[in-house]
Structure 1
Amino acid sequence: MSSMGIAIAATGLSLVLIFVWMISLSMRKQRIESERKAREQAYRRAMQKAREQERQDRLFKAETGHIPTILFLAKEAERENAKQALYWYDKAAKLDNVTGMYGVVRMSERMREDVVLKEQANFWRTAISGMEGDVEAKFATGKALVFGRGTEQNLTKGVQLIEAAANEGCIAAMLYMGEWQLSPENLSGHSADALYWFMKAAEQDSADGKIQVGLCHLNGVGTEMSMVKGCYWLERAAESGNAEAMCHAGEAWKDTSKTGNAIAYIWLFLSANLGYEPARALRDEVAGNIGVDVVVGLQSIAKPLQRKLASGMVKKHSIIRALNKVYKRDSYFPSTEELSEFSNDAHHQGESILELESESNMMDSFEQAEPTRQPSKEALDFTQNFLSPQQSTK
């Protein structure tokens, strides 16, 4: 073979080798690109799986009460899905989170046409006020939970909030807790606990609290039955001008004795004249038992007493002490020890010696009066012990 032929053969072989190399290189690039795409797809799948797992983990944490996660999901959904955001804010709110409560109110205001959401927003506004220290709002929130008003019913949580409000000084909550202890719905209620809460309200000068304490003593609810203690608390409420308390006091004294009917008539007369309808029939029934002369005498006592009550000038225990002395009733005034069981407030730790002396002097001045009318001995005695000298001579 000539040298030219050898050269041509070598060139052809070189071209073949170059072609093979280019094909090999192309296939390698394709393989590398395919591997890169496969890795990218695997990475995307892994990332998607990780994100899905993260989402599932986040949902799990949120559904199980992790508040930061709940708020994150709520804020994330607020931009595009108002209902979803409302769901998460509501969940946070029910876990007593104030941010969640504000979120519910904000989202509800965006959907003003929804009446249910409007009630729900009102509920959470009240709840926010309660969380921020308004005990009346806390009590209102508790009642709303008990009855399911503006929110899902939650009896246990509602009673807990009401008890918290009662412990913070809300008188209405104290009275509710007393009634709750006696409610047939409260299977774990105790009558002694009812008396405790009613007494707490009475110690805050609540007429309703005093009435309930009096009825507890009269009926033996949470304590031993005691006519003396029961009438004391009813008359304490009556001294403040409470017509219902007057009626209960009159009913308690009715038909106990001759003097008991006299006392009953005075309280029932006052209650009826203040417009308390249940007292009218009882007053007339007592009047029929004691006679016209006694009724006239007792009315001469009750009418100026009514004016004095209306003026708000009746001092603590003044009527009770006068009745005790005139009708020789058993005397009862709660001791410091009794009151301290319910309150450490110095204002409710009994009466000072100065106060007692002042009332004693007042009663002495009553006894020095000489009324010109003497409709009956009982009327005379009571008038002398209660009316001022100026009133008794008119």
Structure 2
Amino acid sequence: METVDKLAILADAAKYDASCASSGASKRHSLGTGGIGSTEGMGICHSYTPDGRCVSLLKILLTNFCIYDCAYCVNRVSSNVRRARFNTDEVVKLTLDFYKRNYIEGLFLSSGIIRSSDYTMEQLVEVARSLREDHRFAGYIHLKTIPDAAPELLAAAGRYADRLSINVELPTEAGLAELAPEKKLPGIRAAMGELRWRIEENREQRRDRGAGRAKPPRFAPAGQSTQMIVGADGANDRSILHTSDNLYGNYRLRRVYYSAFSPIPDASIRLPSKAPPLVREHRLYQADWLLRFYGFGVDDIAPADAGGMLDLDIDPKLAWALRHPEQFPVDINRASRELLLRVPGLGTRNVDRIVASRRQGALRVDDLARLRVPLRKTLPFLLLPDHVPRGGLDNPARLRAQLAPPPQQADLFA
């Protein structure tokens, strides 16, 4: 099979993996080393770094052959799809050729399981090793790791890759047992724990090295991430968020990605016949942000008495505020940062600007407008010298109707 035909098949097969990002990568370039590549440039943009740079990645599978039969996967062993496989040299050559043509700035490489977990992981590591050592490639590399692979292979992957990811696939052990019986949650968690330990140990070694000693090489400096499929099993949003909260707390993951289930050809009868609304995926990302940066807990976002599902019509922070009108209005000139972060419409940057600005004097409505605060959404929950909410919190249902997006806007996510 020609390389271009393999590329068409294996790039398309990789589209189902949402955990493709370069956030957290350290700035690095090859100037003065004689190598090639950089994590600092601009190109065809597919993902974003924390400082706002757009980075393009070649996103492919090594192969879409797989010995597993996960019901939700289009590449499962029983699937009737066209198969292809790159050898390691082909992936290395593609990455270098695409980089030299300014198409990409890095590589995202995953694979189906071929022969065994160790064999597959060896192939993935060899691609990264060859790029780094044989060609001195300084661009971004993200490897999807195989949970059952030997620890020494995971260690080798972290020496060459910027980020590693291990997909938990489904949020509950019951869902995994039903739809992907060959994958075991304890094995996935053990691999995540191994990576966490190696990442933290490497940071300590680099920080505490003795005088005159060179820093040890970085180990997966952009950390680890994972992906969960939403809507393939019966797990509700509360269960999904509990799993995410556990992963962030116990394994220090950089990101959990949520991917709405997409119906596949010749699907198992165990799978739903249609995809969940895409807005559900969107609300989970918003809720994930509240967990990570806003001090919310799972019980705040998806209370058990609400059925465990997020409101699809309004964002999770607004939903919380409407359930707790007794917490408002918040005095913007006196409230703590933690309380301001609970106000609908106020993001972390806006809150930091407000806290800094009010040191110079009491803030008024015009001051918020200059800080680009979304007044329509925030004013019903704020108290200012020249603004007192007029009874909106006395009728949360009416306030919800006023603040919910119009139907045509909500339909964009449907």
**Could you tell me the TM-score, scaled by structure 2's length?**
0.26
Q: RCO higher in 1 or 2 (8 Å CA, sep ≥ 6)?
A: 2
Report which of the two has the higher share of strand: 2
Report which of the two has the higher share of helix: 1
Larger radius of gyration: 1
